[in-house]
Structure 1
Amino acid sequence: MNIVENQSFDKERAFYGRSDLLVKNCAFDGLADGESAFKECQGIEVDACYFNLRYPFWHNKGLKIHGSDMTELCRASLWYSQHVKISHTKMHGIKAVRECNDVVIENCDIISSEFGWSVNGMQMNHSTAESEYFMMRATDLDFSDVRFKGKYSFQYIKNAVFENCVLDTKDAFWHAENVVVKNSVIKGEYLAWYSDGLTLVNCKIIGTQPFCYCKNLTLINCEMVDADLCFEKSEVQAILSSSLDSIKNPLSGWIQVPQVKEIIIDIPEAKGKVMVGPVDFPTEEAQKMISENKQFIKV
């Protein structure tokens, strides 16, 4: 592997088409304002570099980035790339990762609107992120210990697992399919409308009008705070550990809840059953759900 270190580059396509290259302590910045530094590359490793120019990593294969800084001027930094690992790095430019496959992100700081669109296969661990429309239309996600803040996150995602995450986000998980969220906190309005196959286990959910128009919705041992007009026109099975402000027109299934201030049933098709009282999994419906989802339950 060739090594390039302690240099500055500002020309267009500085390393176009290169392979098997280690770049250390270099800066991509300067008056020439050149973009696409590592376009169409393979087997590139980047360590402790500074990126202040646009589109540095497009159409890359086998890319590793460690301990680097991508500024807000480093727009659209990784597109159309595969087999990527990014660690201990700041990604502060808009649209930082798009249309990529097999991406691992660890211990990173992300401030990037429209991050992660149409990514297939991403693991994100021990990282923070601030974004709007975060991870839209992404598939096959595995997030652990991620702290997120922003709006309109995880819309239209498919096949995802989130564990030990804190998500402060409005309109999250709209139209999401086949998603499991475990041991996490989700704060925001209008959570998970139009989702299909969403399961939440041991979660704290905060905010108004969650889980409307959902299909195949499952909640197990979840706490809900400041939650009103919940489950409107949804297919739901829920075991809740806290009281609710109101439940409105669940279409089918059942909800087991210690206390609810108001149950609103004002359409004939709302056939969901609400069971109010101590929650200790006494019903046949609850025992069946626990059995079907036992892989998600911490014993």
Structure 2
Amino acid sequence: MTTVKDAYYEGERSLFAQEKMKIVSTIFGPGESPLKESRQIELENSIFQWKYPLWYSQHIKVSQTIFETMARSGIWYTQDLQMEDCTLQAPKLFRRCQDVRLKRVYFADATETFWTCNHLRLEDVEVKGDYFGKDSQNIYLDHVSLVGNYCFDGSQNVEVHHSTFVSKDAFWNCQNVTIYDSTLNGEYLAWNTKNLTLVNCTIISDQGLCYSDQVTLKNCRLLKTTLAFEYCTNLAAEVTTTIESVKNPTSGFIEATGIKTLILDATKVDPQQTRITTKTPIAERRKQ
């Protein structure tokens, strides 16, 4: 393996199609696609300052490296990439990638990042930015903190542990999502999603969990959650707190400590199709 250390490159495709190279303490200045079509590259303690650094690359290891703002759209169509202890400032970094593993990575602007990717594993990752994870699949998250709206729209086969999402419209249009021991805070959680399971989670959401099918909550807390479960089918909700309001669930069951306001409009749903039990009396019942 060739080693490059303390170098500076600029200009388009400066290390195009390089193979079996270790790059240490190196700066890639102005110039597009410096490592396009590269193979078996190890990057350590380096800096990317310009666009498209790792397109169509394979078998890449990146550690203690910075992607500055203009390194946007940086990693597209790349396979088998491992990244640890990195700081990422650029948006749109990952698109149509496969087999990506991140540990201890910070995204300062993750806008439109991880779109249409497959087989992702993120551990101890901090994310800031809208539209993260769109249309990606086979995703594992552990200790991920995400602040940004519309995350994981259209994603499939997602498993989450010990994570926090501050996100409006999170997990819309998804299939097969399981979330454990996490907090989800934001309006309109998980609409139009099929096969969603939440275990030991805390949820704060206005009009959350609506228009979805096969929604399961186990030992979950719903805090200041209003108008939940509208047109939700095959619902199985075990809630350990009082729910602010529930509106027109279609079928299944809800077990909760209490419900402040229950809205069941017989012209919209069949109330007999949803079994609702509470430990304390329902404070208010309305038809619409």
SS at match of 2:167: strand
**Whole-Å separation in 1 of the counterparts to 2:4 and 2:96:** 28
Partner residue of 1:53?
50
Consecutive unaligned residues of structure 2, counting only runs of 5 or more, are 281-288
Residue 107 of structure 1 aligns to a residue whose secondary structure is strand
Measured after TM superposition, the shift of residue 267 of structure 1 is: 3.4
Please report the TM-score for the alignment, with normalisation by the length of structure 1. 0.91
In the TM superposition, 1:109-258 aligns within 5 A as 109-110=106-107, 111-235=109-233, 236-258=235-257
Matched, 1:18 2:18: yes
Distance 1:187 1:16 in 2: 44
SS at match of 1:95: coil
Q: CA deviation at 1:91?
A: 1.4
Q: CA deviation at 1:26?
A: 0.3
TM-score for both structures, normalised by structure 2: 0.94
Provide the C-alpha distance between the structure 2 equivalents of 1:229 and 1:176, rounded to a whole number of angstroms: 21
> Within 1, Cα distance between the matches of 2:210 and 2:225?
12
Deviation at 1:246, TM superposition (A): 0.7
SS at match of 1:58: coil
- Residues 130 and 148 of structure 1 are in contact (CA less than 8 Å); yes or no, is this contact kept in structure 2? yes
- Equivalent AA in structure 1 for residue 263 of structure 2: I
The one-letter code of the counterpart of 1:245 is: E
Contact kept in structure 2, 1:204 and 1:223, CA below 8 Å: yes
Q: Distance in 1 between matches of 2:110 and 2:277?
A: 43
Amino acid at match of 1:272: T
- Per-residue CA distance 1:50-92 (angstroms, 9 max, x = gap): 1111000000010010000001111111000001001100111
Asked if the contact 1:155–1:172 (Cα under 8 Å) also holds between the matched residues in 2, the reply is: yes
2:68 aligns with one of 65, 68, 71:
71
Equivalent-residue separation in structure 1 for 2:276 and 2:230 (angstroms): 13
Pairwise CA distance, 1:205: 0.3
Does the CA-based 8 Å contact 1:249-1:272 persist in structure 2?
no
Measured in 2, the distance between the counterparts of 1:267 and 1:76 equals 51
- Between the aligned partners of 1:41 and 1:272, the Cα distance in structure 2 is 56
Cross-structure match for 2:284: none
